Amino acid sequence: MTDIMNATVLLSNFVIIPVLAYGSQLALGALGVTLVYGILRFANFAHGDLMAFGTMITILVTWWLQSIGVSFGPLPTALLALPVAIVFTIAMALFTDRAVYRFYRRKRSTPAIFVIASIGVMFVLNGIVRFIIGPNDQQFADGERFIIKARSFKHMTGLNEGLAFKVSQGLTIGIVFVLVISLFWFLQNTRTGKAMRAYSDNEDLALLSGIDPEKVVMVTWIITAALATIAGTLYGLDKSFKPFTYFQLLLPFFAAAIVGGIGKPVGAIIGGFVVAFSEISITYAYKKFLKYLVPENWAPEGLVQFLSTDYKFAVSFLILVLVLLIRPMGILKGRVI
Partner 1 sequence: MSGGYGGADILHDCNISVDKGEIAVVVGPNGAGKSTAMKALFGMLNLSQGNVTLGGEDITCLSPQERVKKGMAMVPQTNNVFASLTVQENLEMGAFLRRDDIFQTMEHVFELFPILKDKRNQAAGELSGGQRQQVAVGRALMTTPEVLMLDEPTAGVSPIVMDELFERILEVKQTGIAILMVEQNARQALNIADTGYVLVTGKNKFTNTGEALLASPEVRRSFLGG
Partner 2 sequence: MNNVQRSVLSFALIACLLLIVGLFQSWSLMLSILNLCLISSVMALGVNIQWGYAGLFNVGTMGFAALGGVAAVLVSKGPVPEAWAVGGWNLIIAAFLFMLTVTLAIITYRRIKRGTLRLLVLSGTIILGIFATRYFSDPAIADIEAVNPALTGYLGGIGLPILFSWIVGGVFAAGAAWVIGKIALGLRSDYLAIATLGISEIIIAILKNEDWLTRGVKNVAGLPRPVPYEIDLQKSDWFINLTEWLNSNSLYGLSSIEREDLLSSSVTEFSGIYVKLCYTGLFAAVLVIILTMSVMALNSPWGRMMRAIRDNETSAAAMGKNITGRHLQVFIIGSAVIGIAGAMLTTLDGQLTPGTYNPLRFTFLIWVMVIVGGSGNNLGSVLGGFLIWLTWIEAEPVGVWLIDGATGWLGGTNPIRLHLMDAAQHMRLFMMGLVLLFVMRFNPGGILPEVTKVGKLSN
Q: Give the footprint of partner 1 on this chain (CB under 8 A).
A: 191, 194-195, 197-198, 201-202, 204-212
Of these, 126, 168, 169, 220, which contacts partner 2 (CB under 8 A)? Answer: 126
**68 contributes a contact to partner 2 by CB under 8 A:** no
Least distance CB 29 / partner 1 (angstroms): 23
**In terms of CB distance, is 209 or 308 closer to partner 1?**
209
Least distance CB 207 / partner 1 (angstroms): 6
- H helices, E strands: number in the chain: 16, 2
Please tell me the distance from the alpha carbon of residue 95 to that of residue 125, in angstroms, as a whole number.
Answer: 12
Least distance CB 299 / partner 2 (angstroms): 17
* List of E strands, 111-250: 146-148, 165-166
**74 contributes a contact to partner 2 by CB under 8 A:** no
Strand partners, 241: 138
Q: C-alpha 277: how far from its chain's center?
A: 13
Least distance CB 94 / partner 2 (angstroms): 16
In this structure, is the dihedral angle defined by the CA atoms of residues 124, 130, 133 and 138, taken in order, positive or negative?
Answer: positive
**In terms of CB distance, is 243 or 263 closer to partner 1?**
263
In this structure, is the dihedral angle defined by the CA atoms of residues 19, 21, 25 and 27, taken in order, positive or negative?
Answer: positive
283 contact choice in partner 2, partner 1, none (CB below 5 to 8 Å, kind-dependent)? none
CA torsion 100-106-111-116 (nearest 10°) is -20
Please tell me the distance from the alpha carbon of residue 53 to that of residue 126, in angstroms, as a whole number.
Answer: 8
Please tell me the distance from the alpha carbon of residue 312 to that of residue 275, in angstroms, as a whole number.
Answer: 10
**245 contributes a contact to partner 2 by CB under 8 A:** no
Q: Considering only CA atoms, which of 44, 194, 220 is closest in space to residue 122?
A: 44
207 contact choice in partner 2, partner 1, none (CB below 5 to 8 Å, kind-dependent)? partner 1
Please tell me the distance from the alpha carbon of residue 1 to that of residue 80, in angstroms, as a whole number.
Answer: 45
**30 contributes a contact to partner 2 by CB under 8 A:** no
Least distance CB 337 / partner 2 (angstroms): 5
Least distance CB 206 / partner 2 (angstroms): 22
Least distance CB 23 / partner 1 (angstroms): 25
**337 contributes a contact to partner 2 by CB under 8 A:** yes
Q: Indicate the SS3 state at residue 146.
A: strand
**In terms of CB distance, is 54 or 334 closer to partner 2?**
334
Q: Considering only CA atoms, which of 106, 128, 102, 131 is closest in space to residue 117?
A: 102
> Applying CB under 8 A, which residues contact partner 2?
42-43, 45, 100, 103, 109-117, 119-128, 130-132, 134-135, 244, 247-248, 250-251, 254-255, 258, 302, 308, 310-311, 313-314, 316-318, 320-321, 324-325, 328, 337
